[in-house]
């Protein structure tokens, strides 16, 4: 008989990969199993995400999370102790009820998620079941198509570029292992090109991407395209490009796009024209947050213009929130949704957005945060939820590689029985409308 009733909840201040405090938590069940979770944190945060509770004051520059930790060990522990951790929906409902606000403003989304994740991991530990198997049952593991960060800008790299990330997508790979090898080849080639151009490839951004002043945003896209060519891969057939604009960071109050690195200001139609021109010149298959989080009209226009044969991915637009996703579906905004558990606050809420996306014909893409941790559970969620795509960061920094390594292990463990999502995982308006 399984013994998965929650008997203990502990928490402490931990650090994320940027050295900022975050919440660490252990949940123990009565069979002896335990789960340990450390909550990630984003630098580029949508305003509609659940609340990330910080202490303020002088300690850690205001970023301390002692209050969130106390909320875990006090209010939240009392709410879940005695519940069956295997009933994740009931655990998460109790956590949300204890907070009592939609955005988890009272106790903090970082506090709530710490308990939610740790409870799920405790069940995996107690049942001696890999987390992905606990989530997916007996289905063959589906390894996701990776998006691997090559060049970074925006809030992840001191504003060297206005856009946030340019990534390689190994669309022609036949396995996850081959996809990672091809991504490594492209990043290495881009780093060599950067050195030849007078840059320094040793400088990396929050997610491990190359960080350098390149003169223009298009230059960042071009560097990755040239990296694909130099790596010996065929552009578009073997490897393609994803661009994360993170438009919230570059949108002025009047709605115009401010390209500070280029000393230009563009209207929404002008910006869409610019991105469309990039798509004509480079093998771009995914564009994330092309416009700001509340520009629903502009998003619909961009999706109509750019979405045929291409993925329009909403992050700040949807913030892993089912109500915002439903509005996007109704408005024709985007065709894919980024899934970040800490935007939603609980495991159950994030999983609900994955289900709602599939029901609407939108593609879910699971994602790490810029301030992430040395844990691999996100990789298991990608396989267990069969999202088909994952966006973790680059191929340096251990909080990134731990997730890639976990996926490589899962594929190796299952050999030929493992499936790889490949190019077909990408969203495409022309497919979605059929």
Place of tokens 């905004």: 333
Residue 402 lies in a domain: yes
Give strand ranges (E) for 225-292: 240-244, 257-259, 264-266, 284-288
Is residue 104 a contact partner of residue 49, using CB atoms and an 8 Å limit? Answer: no
Same domain, 227 and 294: yes
What was the pLDDT predicted at 433? 40
Residue 133 lies in a domain: no
Mean pLDDT of 394-404: 96
What was the pLDDT predicted at 101? 97
Same domain, 18 and 148: no
Contacts with 47 (C-beta within 8 Å, 6 or more apart), sequence order: 248, 293, 316
Nearest 5°: the CA angle 293, 385, 391 is 50
Which region among 33-47, 89-103, 159-173 has the lowest average model confidence (pLDDT)?
A: 33-47
Nearest 5°: the CA angle 127, 11, 407 is 45
Interval 227-239: pLDDT, tens? 999 999 999 999 9
Q: What is the pTM of this model?
A: 0.95
Q: Is 115 helix (H, G, I), strand (E, B) or coil?
A: helix
DSSP string, 69-100: HHHIIIIIHHHHTTSBTT-HHHHHHHHHHHH-
Which region among 51-65, 114-128, 154-168, 370-384 has the lowest average model confidence (pLDDT)?
A: 154-168
Average pLDDT, rounded, for the chain: 94
What was the pLDDT predicted at 1? 58
What was the pLDDT predicted at 434? 33
Same domain, 200 and 249: yes
DSSP string, 303-363: HHHH-TTSEEEESTTTTT-HHHHHHHHHHT--SEEEE-HHHHSSHHHHHHHHHHHHHHTPE
Residue 136 lies in a domain: no
Mean pLDDT of 405-430: 93
Q: For residue 21, what is the domain's CATH number?
A: 3.30.390.10
Same domain, 118 and 146: no
Residue 229 lies in a domain: yes
Same domain, 86 and 179: no
Domain boundary among 104, 128, 152: 128
Asked whether the predicted pLDDT for residue 431 surpasses 90, the reply is no
Residue 393 lies in a domain: yes
**What is the band of 381 on the pLDDT scale with cuts at 50, 70, 90?**
very high
Report the interhelical angle of 347-360 vs 322-331 (nearest 10°).
20
First-to-last alpha carbon distance for the chain, in angstroms, is 48
Asked whether the predicted pLDDT for residue 198 surpasses 70, the reply is yes
Same domain, 34 and 170: no
Asked whether the predicted pLDDT for residue 202 surpasses 80, the reply is no
Using the CB atoms, write b or e for 240-273: b if 16+ within 10 Å.
bbbbbbbbbbbbeeeebbbbebeebebebeebbe
**What is the band of 159 on the pLDDT scale with cuts at 50, 70, 90?**
low
Mean pLDDT of 243-250: 95
Same domain, 253 and 227: yes
Same domain, 146 and 112: no
Same domain, 265 and 374: yes
Q: For residue 172, what is the domain's CATH number?
A: 3.20.20.120
What was the pLDDT predicted at 175? 98
Report the interhelical angle of 347-360 vs 109-127 (nearest 10°).
90
Q: Is 61 helix (H, G, I), strand (E, B) or coil?
A: helix
Asked whether the predicted pLDDT for residue 156 surpasses 60, the reply is no
Q: Is 159 helix (H, G, I), strand (E, B) or coil?
A: coil
**In terms of residue numbers, what domain contains 410?**
142-432
Q: Is 204 helix (H, G, I), strand (E, B) or coil?
A: strand
Same domain, 262 and 372: yes
Residue 1 lies in a domain: no
**What is the band of 428 on the pLDDT scale with cuts at 50, 70, 90?**
confident
Q: Is 279 helix (H, G, I), strand (E, B) or coil?
A: helix
Domain boundary among 128, 154, 173: 128
Same domain, 104 and 217: no
Q: Around Cβ 352, how many Cβ atoms within 10 Å? A: 18
Is residue 201 a contact partner of residue 191, using CB atoms and an 8 Å limit? Answer: yes
- Phi, then psi, of 211 in degrees rounded to 5: -130, 120
Catalytic positions are 207, 340
Which region among 43-47, 138-142, 282-286, 354-358 has the lowest average model confidence (pLDDT)?
A: 43-47
Same domain, 96 and 160: no
Nearest 5°: the CA angle 134, 108, 29 is 35
- Phi, then psi, of 305 in degrees rounded to 5: -80, -40
Distance CA 116, CA 86 (A): 11
Closest CA to 370 of 343, 409, 333: 343
What was the pLDDT predicted at 200? 75
Q: Around Cβ 303, how many Cβ atoms within 10 Å? A: 23
Interval 8-62: pLDDT, tens? 999 999 999 999 999 999 999 999 999 999 999 977 677 899 999 999 999 999 9
Report the interhelical angle of 377-384 vs 398-414 (nearest 10°).
40
Interval 253-270: pLDDT, tens? 899 999 998 999 999 999
Number of structural domains found in the chain: 2
Domain boundary among 67, 95, 128: 128
Is residue 119 a contact partner of residue 6, using CB atoms and an 8 Å limit? Answer: yes
Residue 165 lies in a domain: yes
Is residue 65 a contact partner of residue 53, using CB atoms and an 8 Å limit? Answer: yes
Residue 296 lies in a domain: yes
């Amino acid at each position: 008989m399984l013994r998965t009733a929650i008997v203990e909840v502990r928490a402490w201040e931990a650090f994320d990969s940027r050295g900022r405090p975050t919440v660490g938590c252990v949940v123990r069940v009565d069979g002896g199993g335990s789960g340990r979770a450390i909550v990630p944190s984003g630098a580029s945060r949508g305003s509609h995400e659940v609340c990330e509770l910080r202490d303020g004051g002088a300690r850690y520059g205001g970023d301390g999370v002692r209050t969130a930790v106390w909320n875990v060990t006090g209010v939240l522990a009392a709410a879940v102790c005695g519940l069956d951790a295997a009933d994740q929906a009931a655990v998460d409902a109790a956590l949300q009820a204890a907070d009592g606000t939609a955005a988890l403003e009272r106790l903090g989304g970082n506090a709530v998620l710490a308990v939610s994740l740790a409870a799920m991991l405790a069940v995996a530990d107690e049942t001696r079941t890999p987390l992905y198997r606990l989530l997916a049952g007996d289905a063959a593991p589906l390894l996701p198509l990776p998006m691997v960060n090559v060049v970074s800008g925006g809030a992840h790299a001191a504003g060297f570029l206005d856009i946030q990330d340019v990534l390689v997508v190994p669309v022609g790979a036949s396995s996850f292992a081959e996809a990672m090898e091809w991504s490594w080849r492209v990043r290495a080639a881009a780093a060599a090109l950067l050195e030849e151009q007078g840059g320094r490839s040793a400088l990396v951004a929050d997610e491990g991407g190359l960080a350098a002043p390149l003169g223009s945003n298009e230059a960042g896209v071009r560097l990755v395209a040239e990296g694909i060519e130099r790596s010996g891969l065929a552009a578009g057939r073997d490897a393609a490009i994803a661009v994360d604009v993170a438009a919230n960071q570059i949108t002025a109050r009047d709605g115009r796009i401010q390209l500070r690195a280029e000393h230009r200001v563009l209207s929404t139609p002008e910006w869409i024209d610019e991105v469309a021109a990039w798509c004509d010149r480079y093998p771009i298959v995914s564009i994330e947050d092309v416009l700001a989080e509340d520009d629903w009209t502009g998003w619909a226009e961009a999706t109509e213009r750019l979405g045929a044969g291409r993925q329009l991915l909403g992050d700040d637009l949807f913030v892993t929130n089912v109500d915002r996703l439903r509005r996007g579906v109704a408005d024709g905004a985007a065709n894919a949704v980024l899934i970040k558990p800490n935007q939603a606050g609980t495991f159950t809420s994030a999983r609900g957005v994955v289900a709602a996306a599939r029901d609407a014909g939108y593609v879910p893409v699971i994602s790490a945060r810029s301030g992430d941790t040395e844990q691999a559970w996100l990789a298991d969620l990608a396989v267990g939820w069969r999202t088909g795509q994952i966006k973790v960061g680059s191929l340096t920094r251990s909080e990134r590689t731990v997730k890639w390594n976990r996926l490589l292990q899962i594929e190796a463990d299952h050999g030929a029985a493992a499936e790889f999502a490949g190019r077909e995982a990408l969203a495409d308006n022309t497919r979605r409308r059929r």
